[in-house]
Amino acid sequence: MCFSATASFSAGALLLGLGALTMRAALATHQRRELPFAAIPLLFAIQQLIEGVIWLTFRVDAPLLNSVMTHVYSFFSHVLWPVYVPVAVLLLEPTGWRRRALFAFVAAGVAVGAYLLYILLAFPVVSRPTGQHVEYVSPHFFAAATMTLYLMSTALSPVLSTHPMVRVFGALALLSFGAAYTFYATWFISVWCFFAALLSAVIYLHFAWRGASRGGLRRMPATTGLS
């Protein structure tokens, strides 16, 4: 989380528990292609725990550890999410026009992820505490195009899903993007990642409700004859 080490570690621990529940619910569906989407809360948990370590490096003056953790965190925020999210959503979809359209979002995510990986390698990112937030400082070339592709892959791709809660996840990601950019532009990366991490609860609901629906179908008595 973007406000303190304690908050980051607390959020990470909460997401670890939520992620375990989500994976358990997903495994109950016996659909292995759904596991990448179910793993999102666990990945967010790792990212929040990493930011907790970054906070600690400011207190104990550990520049090497800070640099390593900053780049690992930035790999999650810049490279992993724009590639991972559309692929995970694509794997949920049945054959149809939505699945075909999602390939374009996967391509957008791979393109922006590759570009941002190059930026991270060519221009090392720096993290620093400013107020009650962590600011990640790195160059922003082609900012408009980069942000457009990033939003397409991370937030718009779930909106295309046939699954209602996946669409809710995408819509809330878009709203949280707007809120984070409007009120926390300087600390946008940290704040939006925190908001997105909170949306992991929607992912759990997706699998929990599907499991409940399937359980209801199994308990429904069979009917015979004419009704």
Least confident of 23-27, 158-162, 170-174: 170-174
How far, in Å, CA of 54 to CA of 67, rounded?
A: 9
Closest-CA residue to 86 (of 36, 149, 153): 153
For 153, which DSSP code?
A: I
Q: Is residue 67 part of a domain?
A: yes
Digit-coded pLDDT (tens) for 63-112: 999 999 999 999 999 999 999 999 999 999 999 999 999 999 999 999 99
Start-to-end CA span in the chain (Å):
57
How far, in Å, CA of 224 to CA of 227, rounded?
A: 8
Digit-coded pLDDT (tens) for 141-164: 888 899 899 999 999 999 999 999
Least confident of 5-19, 39-53, 155-169: 5-19
Token readout for 6 is: 């304690």
The amino acid at residue 133 is: H
pLDDT for position 133:
78
Q: Is residue 131 part of a domain?
A: yes
Q: What is the pTM of this model?
A: 0.85
Percent of the chain with pLDDT over 70: 83
pLDDT for position 188:
59
Q: Is residue 215 part of a domain?
A: no
Q: Is residue 86 part of a domain?
A: yes
**Count of domains forming the chain:** 1
pLDDT for position 159:
95
Q: Is residue 27 part of a domain?
A: yes
Q: How far is CA 58 from CA 11, 41, 122, 124, 126, in A?
A: 19, 26, 24, 18, 12
Q: Is residue 204 part of a domain?
A: yes
Q: Is residue 132 part of a domain?
A: yes
Domain range for 171 is 5-210
Q: Is residue 12 part of a domain?
A: yes
pLDDT score of 189 more than 90: no
Question: Between residues 154 and 186, which one has the greater pLDDT?
Answer: 154
pLDDT for position 141:
83
pLDDT for position 220:
44
How far, in Å, CA of 25 to CA of 21, rounded?
A: 6
pLDDT for position 153:
95
Digit-coded pLDDT (tens) for 46-70: 998 999 999 999 988 899 999 999 9
